Amino acid sequence: MASDNNLYFIPIIARALKSDNPKKALHEAFDEIRQLGTRPEYAEGFLQFIEFTRAFLDPSGRTSEDWIQHIRNAVVRLMYDLVTHTFMGSKEQEKALLSAFRKMPEWRAEYERVSKEAESVLSHEQPIGFQILRMDRILGTFAVSELPTTLFSIRPGRYVVRFSNGRVLWEGDLTKEDVIWAFAYPAMDLPMAAETDRTHKTPTRSISLLNGELLIYVFAGLETGELTIDEGKRIPKK
């Protein structure tokens, strides 16, 4: 019961996302979560809800539609962590989440779809493909066997890393402080060697995906930056 209370907000959010009016339902869901969070038995769960929102649901710079989709993606990523056994919580929390998703008819089918998709990907019956997008435009598509891969001319903007079948692995903003040297290191001149030799560079951002199976490094340049995606130790090459 304690584990269910600690994750009480997940079923509430998931139920709201499947309503006919998710925007209104989410506002009501967050009110319900906050009200329950004032009760002693849900106090720890409310703290976990706050951490969840900080990690996944930063609404800054989003329209309400983008925000709702971002929440959906966060819930599906949580499902993916569960089916691939990369969930970082306790066994009790994992059991509580699995029970919640399986009990909700509106999410049971989604969980089964994610499970089958992950099984196909992890079995490597088909080549694994990845895509990097900026502002809904595909910048590059590549297989695990092509890693590490570097994309050049990276400008500030919103980027998405996903499987080639559409499953989103990461979505976030790269700022001018991430990709333009003068903003990343205002007190330093750009070393001449850094233009051509990455061994002289330090990444401005390091992003771990799939519990370390994929790594993203962002490097600042004179006018544009670079983005390198590399494999983690557990991804076999074909």
Residues 70 and 169 both lie in one domain: no
Residues 17 and 118 both lie in one domain: yes
Is position 236 within any domain?
Answer: no
The last residue of one of the domains, among 123, 139, 172, is 123
The last residue of one of the domains, among 85, 108, 123, is 123
pLDDT beyond 80 at 23: no
Nearest to 169 by CA among 80, 72, 68: 80
What is the average per-residue pLDDT within 13-18? 79
DSSP 116-184: HHHHHHHHTSS--EEEEEETTEEEEEEEGGG-SEEEEEE-SEEEEEEETTS-EEEEEEE-HHHHBHHHH
Asked if residue 147 lies in contact with residue 230, where contact means CB atoms within 8 angstroms, the answer is yes
Q: Which domain holds residue 181?
A: 129-231
Helix/strand/coil for 59: coil
Residues 7 and 119 both lie in one domain: yes
Asked if residue 11 lies in contact with residue 42, where contact means CB atoms within 8 angstroms, the answer is no
Strand partners, 129: 143
Task: Report the alpha-carbon distance of residue 17 to residue 30 in Å, rounded.
Answer: 12
Residues 117 and 144 both lie in one domain: no
| pLDDT of amino acid 133 | 92
Is position 62 within any domain?
Answer: yes
Is position 68 within any domain?
Answer: yes
Strand partners, 138: 133
Residues 148 and 83 both lie in one domain: no
Residues 108 and 154 both lie in one domain: no
- Digit-coded pLDDT (tens) for 75-91: 777 777 777 766 666 67
| pLDDT of amino acid 3 | 55
pLDDT bucket at 236, cuts 50 / 70 / 90: very low
Neighbours of 215 (CB within 10 A): 18
- Digit-coded pLDDT (tens) for 146-191: 888 899 999 999 999 988 767 788 888 999 999 999 999 988 876 6
User: What is the share, in percent, of the chain residues with pLDDT greater than 90?
Assistant: 17
Residues 115 and 196 both lie in one domain: no
| pLDDT of amino acid 65 | 63
Is position 34 within any domain?
Answer: yes
The mean pLDDT of the chain is 76
pLDDT beyond 60 at 124: no
Q: Which of 72-81, 136-145, 182-191, 209-218 shows the lowest mean pLDDT across its residues?
A: 72-81
Is position 238 within any domain?
Answer: no
Residues 205 and 187 both lie in one domain: yes
| pLDDT of amino acid 175 | 94
| pLDDT of amino acid 227 | 95
DSSP 78-93: HHHHHHTT---S-HHH
Residues 7 and 31 both lie in one domain: yes
Residues 47 and 151 both lie in one domain: no
The last residue of one of the domains, among 91, 123, 155, is 123
Residues present in the chain in total:
238
More confident of the two residues 22 and 176 = 176
Q: How many structural domains are present in the chain?
A: 2
| pLDDT of amino acid 178 | 95
Residues 160 and 209 both lie in one domain: yes
Burial class (CB in 10 A: 0-12, 13-18, 19+), 220: buried
